[in-house]
Chain A
Amino acid sequence: MPDFVLVLLTGLAWVLMLIGCVFVVAGGVGLLRLPDLYTRLHAAGVTDTGSTIFMLLGMVIIALVEYQNPWIAAKLILILFFTLFTTPTCSHALAKIALLSGLVPIDENGKPILASPKLAKKMALSRKPKEGFEADDEGDNSNKDGAS
């Protein structure tokens, strides 16, 4: 390969790694400062996936250009593949079980969006989003939703 292509690829790898660094630090700050479990889970999950994508792609370019070893690049892509499956699955399981255990999400004013932990459990078990769960606990919203 000509020289300027190598320089260009190395620069691209630098840029990707730096974007990954920004994602990582933003995720850490978000995990520390956001007010509620679900928002923190958003910060952690999104930046874990994003930073992994950018950093591993940067390292793939370095492995191909500098080390010229396709096996290293293959291993990095394998790590990327597994991480793209496992991180969102972990976030989903955490959010679902937190809701199932009765942890109510809060809105932007810091007030809980549901009346009771029991409603949160009900919301976790239904396949529909929030609507219909602000009403009374005993209202059979699930039947109406299922019929329509």
Chain B
Amino acid sequence: MFVAAVLALLATMVLTIVRALLGPTLYDRLSAVNSFGTKIMLFIAVFGFLTGRPEFLDIALVYSLINFVATVAVLKFYEYDDLGSGAYQEDDY
């Protein structure tokens, strides 16, 4: 069962990488990278169960949180060219 889950996750990670390499816009690549991070988080958890050592779950927990923060930070950086800016800027509209 865990072997099947690991194989499905690996196949999906390949598809996600293909989308990240092909993606016409930046946002396609970002959504693919975000999805890839979720798959890695699941992969770490499933692989811990597969090898009989579920202690890897801490790493999966940290990975899911860092994945979220990284995606939002990259989005903010590309939108505002600045990680410290607050609200929407006037000259955008």
Contacts of B93 in A (CB 8 A): 121, 125
CB atoms of B32 and A83 under 8 A apart:
no
- Is A79 a contact partner of B41 (Cβ separation < 8 A)? yes
8 A Cβ contacts from A48-62 to B: 48, 51-52, 55-56, 59, 62
Q: Which residues of B contact A59 (CB under 8 A)?
A: 45-46, 49
Q: Contact: B5 with A103, CB < 8 Å? A: no
B38 touches A48 (CB 8 A): yes
Within the complex, which residue of B12, B25, B34, B49 is in contact with A25, where a contact is CB–CB below 8 Å? B12
> Of the 9-residue stretches A1-9, A91-99, A129-137, A139-147, which lies at the interface with chain B?
A91-99
Once A and B bind, how many residue pairs between them come within 8 Å at the CB atom?
Answer: 133
Chain B residues within 8 Å of A, Cβ to Cβ: 1-2, 4-5, 8-9, 11-16, 18-19, 25, 27-28, 30-32, 34-35, 38-39, 41-42, 45-46, 49, 54, 57-58, 60-61, 64-65, 67-68, 71-72, 75, 78-79, 88, 92-93
Interchain Cβ contacts under 8 Å between A and B, 29 examples: A17-B5, A25-B8, A28-B13, A29-B15, A31-B16, A31-B19, A37-B25, A37-B27, A44-B32, A44-B34, A44-B35, A45-B31, A48-B35, A51-B42, A59-B46, A75-B57, A76-B57, A79-B45, A79-B60, A79-B64, A82-B68, A83-B64, A86-B65, A89-B72, A90-B71, A94-B31, A100-B79, A103-B27, A121-B92
